Amino acid sequence: MFTVYIQIICCNSTIVCLIVIHKNLHEPMYIFIPPLCTSSSTDLSCLFQFFIFYSLGCSEFLLLAAMSYDRYVSICKPLQYPTIMRKTNICILLVLAWFVAACHIAIPTILSAETKLCNFTCKGIVCNNAIYELHCVRSNIISVYGVVALVDLIILPFLFIIFTYTKILIIAYRSGREVRRKAAETCLPHLMVLISFSCLSVYDIVIARVESSFPKTARLIMTLQTIVYHSLFNPLIYGLKMKEISKHLNRLFCPARII
């Protein structure tokens, strides 16, 4: 686990450093990638870990929605792109993604801190939704608010992403080969990350409902997938599938091959 964690830190840090160092990567489609690469788990007190785990996780859906909007403007409204996707607007989107997610997750975290516990052994390897099983009585307020947060932070951003990519596909289909190539090159990595993260998020949501009926071994494997797989998947996809980042990676690790 320590080795894998070091790999996660190194892979994500490499992508972040490349984007920070190289000015040709200071574009909206690349600027949203470093925040995605910072999504990793912490190992402090349980409620703080719960807050960090879900605030970063939910901000990822909001960041993916911002990235899909960037691609939509770039492909569907290219003449308006410099005006719409200014640095100020990008900074606002980044701050909102983190702030909105943090505010939403802070409420169930505070409510959980004030809830009486009847069990002090968490079944998971991280403090995720499994902490609700420690409560003496399942709080109706937390359950209802959980649905609200689910809609605000996951379902609505997901629907927005589907809408924008549908519009992109329609425009790309009606346009020439160059537009279709650009759409495939820049949108495919985002869609792969979205599908991967959505599947893992569905598991995390479901596991809070089925409680102890879920096999212990399967729970352990899926939780490891949530923590490890996605953290490694992000830098690999963006590093290998996005042309400009891949080019800088080749120069960094294989300088002898560069002519």
Structure tokens at 49: 């870990």
Q: Which domain holds residue 47?
A: 41-251
Task: Please enumerate in sequence order all residues whose Cβ is within 8 A of that of 124, keeping only pairs 6 or more positions apart, or say none.
Answer: 130, 219, 223
Secondary structure letter of residue 227 according to DSSP: I
* 25: in domain: no
Residue-level pLDDT at 243 = 62
How far is 228 from 60, CA to CA, in rounded Å? 16
In contact, 18 and 249? CB cutoff 8 Å: yes
Rounded to 10 deg, the angle between the 156-174 and 46-76 helix axes is 20
- Greatest Cα pair distance, the chain, in angstroms, is 66
* 13: in domain: no
Task: Please enumerate in sequence order all residues whose Cβ is within 8 A of that of 177, keeping only pairs 6 or more positions apart, or say none.
Answer: none
* 32: in domain: no
* 224: in domain: yes
pTM recorded for the entire structure: 0.74
Secondary structure letter of residue 127 according to DSSP: S
Other beta carbons within 10 angstroms of residue 2's beta carbon come to: 6
- Domain total in the chain: 1
Nearest one of 152, 140, 177, 22 to 99, comparing CA atoms: 152
* 146: in domain: yes
Burial 85-103 (b: 16+ CB within 10 A, else e): beeeebeebbeebbebbbe
* 161: in domain: yes
* 150: in domain: yes
Taking only the tens of pLDDT, the chain with its 259 residues reads 667 667 777 777 777 777 777 776 777 666 767 666 665 444 367 788 888 888 888 888 898 898 888 888 888 888 888 888 888 888 888 889 889 999 998 888 888 888 777 777 766 677 777 777 777 777 788 888 888 888 998 899 999 999 998 888 888 887 777 777 777 777 777 788 888 788 878 877 776 566 556 677 777 777 777 777 667 766 666 666 566 666 666 666 666 555 4
Residue-level pLDDT at 159 = 92
Nearest one of 37, 39, 36, 75 to 166, comparing CA atoms: 75
In contact, 12 and 236? CB cutoff 8 Å: no
* 28: in domain: no
Q: Where are the alpha helices (DSSP H) in the chain?
A: 2-21, 28-31, 33-37, 46-76, 81-84, 87-113, 140-150, 156-174, 177-210, 216-224, 230-241, 243-253
Find the CATH number of the domain harbouring 221. 1.20.1070.10
Give whole-number Cα distances, 122 to 49, 112, 127, 142, in Å.
13, 14, 7, 18
Q: What angle do CA 88, 90, 92 make, to 5 degrees?
A: 70
How far is 73 from 5, CA to CA, in rounded Å? 36
